[in-house]
Amino acid sequence: MHFHLALTVQVLWTSVCQTSMQHYPTAWGHYDVCKSQVYSDDGLSWDYMACQPEAADMTQYLKVTLDPTNITCGDPPETYCTLENPYMCNNECDASTEELAHPPELMFDNEGRNPSTFWQSTSWKKYPKALLVNITLSWNKTIELTDDIVLTFESGRPEQMVLEKSLDYGRTWQPYQFYATDCLDAFTMEPKTVQDLTQNSLLDIICTEEYSRGYVWKYDKTVHFEIKERFALFAGPQLHNMASLYGQLDTTKNLRDFFTITDLRIRLLRPATGATLVDENNLSRYFYAISDIKVQGRCKCNLHANNCVYDKEKLRCDCEHNTTGPDCGRCKRNYQGRAWSAGSYLPIPKGTPNICEYTYCECFSHSNRCSYIELLNTVICVRCKHNTRGQHCQLCKLGYYRNASAELDDENVCIDCNCNPFGSVSDRCNDTGFCTCKEGTTGPQCQECLPGYFWDDGSQVCDNEFLHCQNGGVCISNSRCSCPSSYTGLLCEKVRCESDLGGCRNSNLGQVSVTPSFSLILMLLMGSALLKENFC
Ligand SMILES: *[C@@H]1O[C@H](CO)[C@@H](O)[C@H](O)[C@H]1NC(C)=O
Ligand SMILES: *[C@@H]1O[C@H](CO)[C@@H](O)[C@H](O)[C@H]1NC(C)=O
Ligand SMILES: *[C@@H]1O[C@H](CO)[C@@H](O)[C@H](O)[C@H]1NC(C)=O
Ligand SMILES: *[C@@H]1O[C@H](CO)[C@@H](O)[C@H](O)[C@H]1NC(C)=O
Ligand SMILES: *[C@@H]1O[C@H](CO)[C@@H](O)[C@H](O)[C@H]1NC(C)=O
Ligand SMILES: *[C@@H]1O[C@H](CO)[C@@H](O)[C@H](O)[C@H]1NC(C)=O
Ligand SMILES: *[C@@H]1O[C@H](CO)[C@@H](O)[C@H](O)[C@H]1NC(C)=O
Ligand SMILES: [Ca+2]
């Protein structure tokens, strides 16, 4: 369902703006057009404006939850008395009969029927235990209230209730307003009315006795949360000066948030009794019944959409200005040329659109995503692949070097340094693939011993305790075996012979040349501790 046909507006506006620029009534500021085409000497171009969806009846789009879940009357069937006449106790509530059922949906159907349709709770059978009911209305979307919330009670207005709101999809709740016949007694709050509020105290949470006092329910069934009277503190009594309110909303986040909700909760704490004493003989007289709830508002789209769509049981802004997200709260991919910000009502009447700007996302095909970094005011590639890094994935990751004969967008542009873990200081190499060698090693990967050096795998190849040195070898410093003259090998396991194998030189202590990989395998076979360091 569309609140507003943006296309129609655009087309209209396109024709209007050629002749007149006085499209907007300046007092209100409509903010109903996100963009329009303008003709100038340079030809056709777009003009962008802050925009918002029209206000609508938000009760069509909500989900209602009751706590306790079985608090609706009629299961099992029950008879109850009317409040005004305690001797009339022949009203029936039966959930299994459509005409006698009072399910929650009847709070949101189209009124105007007589008698009215209403939701009704079970009666206060467990008196004096409190009769508590929570009615939660959830939109799963941020909504900006534009008119009073109005609840209509068919049972007499409750003697105590709290209206609460959530801004974070029901995770946390704040009170909106307290209602009681006696605010001091019920909530230890001084009774106030919305007329007591000023611009400075507009955000105060008050307790009011205005909608509970007296017992004249037949004529006065409604409980309000006053939005318009709060607006009027800035916009004047007839809301003539909305520009002033919009200016305030632009600059004051708390004020904006005050009128913004994702959920509402009505906490019913004590039903109408119409008397100081509860008639314990006739508890069927006490219950809650609500025939109607009005919530007027608009989707919050951060002034980046004039259209809100209801799609798959969910509200979502139809975002313009290259924004995206349920509230148009982000810039679209490739439009992150500057930080996202909400549109602004100011300057009146067209506002500032704060559109998201296109950005050239050059990552040499090692990534297809860029991100705007506000701190640096720059756009960088994210998640560079193929061992690349850098703002445009134009550098090689540490441990890799640039393949000079490959193009920057080649998948093989970065080559593994492959530094010998035993012979190198680190796993990094210079731009031509040379690793930094430890003393005694050489080669691009430091994989060879210099003359006069030999591979010494250093740590724990042998251990006296476990007698790893064989053939009478003696373990020295837990690191090597000193072999009898007729034996050689790391563990003195070999009979000495004349010719040496290649690689690094033997010492005269009987140490043998082994390639690091060989000694590593040996150690793994022996179940020895992890290799720490190897030296030449
Ligand atoms: C509702 O359910 C609760 C527990 O699930 C039970 O204690 C209570 O009696 C029920 N109330 C009614 C009115 O059926
Ligand atoms: C209603 O909501 C309040 C918190 O807002 C919670 O403490 C309470 O347990 C809920 N349920 C009932 C039946 O009051
Ligand atoms: C609320 O909306 C989000 C998407 O914005 C969705 O993933 C989630 O399932 C919705 N939650 C409910 C309770 O509908
Ligand atoms: C209601 O109260 C009146 C007295 O006030 C009593 O006569 C009558 O029996 C009561 N009705 C029920 C259903 O308890
Ligand atoms: C957003 O992007 C589309 C192309 O993807 C472009 O046509 C449009 O003009 C851009 N700008 C705005 C502000 O919508
Ligand atoms: C370097 O890039 C060229 C051209 O793509 C390729 O043929 C060559 O195999 C690459 N060299 C290495 C070591 O990957
Ligand atoms: C890399 O190191 C090698 C050996 O030290 C040297 O010959 C070469 O010039 C270095 N390359 C660069 C680009 O620094
Ligand atoms: Ca109704």
pLDDT one-digit tens code per residue, 321-344: 999 999 999 988 778 777 899 999
Phi, psi of 428 (to 5 degrees): -100, 155
How many degrees, rounded to 5, is the angle at CA 511 between CA 507 and CA 517?
120
Distance of CA 358 from the midpoint of ligand 5 (Å): 8
Distance of CA 78 from the midpoint of ligand 1 (Å): 14
Q: What is the pLDDT of residue 460?
A: 31
| For the chain, percent of residues with pLDDT exceeding 90 | 54
Q: What is the pLDDT of residue 218?
A: 62
Q: What is the pLDDT of residue 231?
A: 96
Greater model confidence, 481 or 332 = 332
Task: State the closest ligand 1 atom to the C-alpha of 68, by its place in the atom list counted from 1.
Answer: 1
CA distance from start to end of the chain: 77
Ligand 4 pocket residue status of 275, Cβ below 6 Å: no
Q: What is the pLDDT of residue 479?
A: 58
* Exposed/middle/buried for residue 204 (C-beta within 10 Å: 0-12, 13-18, 19+): exposed
Q: Name the β-bridge partners of 389.
A: 395
Ligand 4 pocket residue status of 89, Cβ below 6 Å: yes
Q: What is the pLDDT of residue 457?
A: 54
Instruction: Give the model confidence (pLDDT) of 36-87 as tens digits.
Output: 988 888 888 899 999 999 999 999 999 999 999 999 999 999 999 876 776 7
Ligand 5 site-directed mutation target among 33, 322, 330, 355, most atoms within 8 Å of CB: 322
Q: Is the pLDDT of residue 282 over 90?
A: no
Q: Is the pLDDT of residue 459 over 70?
A: no
Distance of CA 68 from the midpoint of ligand 1 (Å): 8
Greater model confidence, 292 or 242 = 292
Distance of CA 448 from the midpoint of ligand 6 (Å): 24
Distance of CA 40 from the midpoint of ligand 5 (Å): 19
Strands 207-208 and 174-180: parallel
d(CA 213, CA 221): 11
Instruction: Give the model confidence (pLDDT) of 178-218 as tens digits.
Output: 999 999 999 999 999 999 999 999 999 999 999 986 555 56
Task: State the closest ligand 2 atom to the C-alpha of 71, by its place in the atom list counted from 1.
Answer: 13
Task: State the closest ligand 6 atom to the C-alpha of 410, by its place in the atom list counted from 1.
Answer: 5
Q: Is the pLDDT of residue 494 over 90?
A: no
What are the chain's domains? 63-294 (2.60.120.260), 370-414 (no CATH), 455-523 (2.10.25.10)
Q: What is the pLDDT of residue 2?
A: 41
Distances (CA, A) of 227 to 35, 139, 164, 235, 253: 30, 19, 14, 12, 17
Ligand 6 pocket residue status of 222, Cβ below 6 Å: no
Q: What is the pLDDT of residue 410?
A: 92
478 pLDDT band, cuts 50/70/90, is: low
Q: Are the beta carbons of 399 and 428 closer than 8 angstroms?
A: yes
Per-chain residues with Cβ under 5 A from ion ligand 8: 106, 109, 117, 291
Q: What is the pLDDT of residue 477?
A: 57
Residue burial 240-257, b: 16+ Cβ < 10 Å; e: rest: ebbbebbbbbbeeeebee
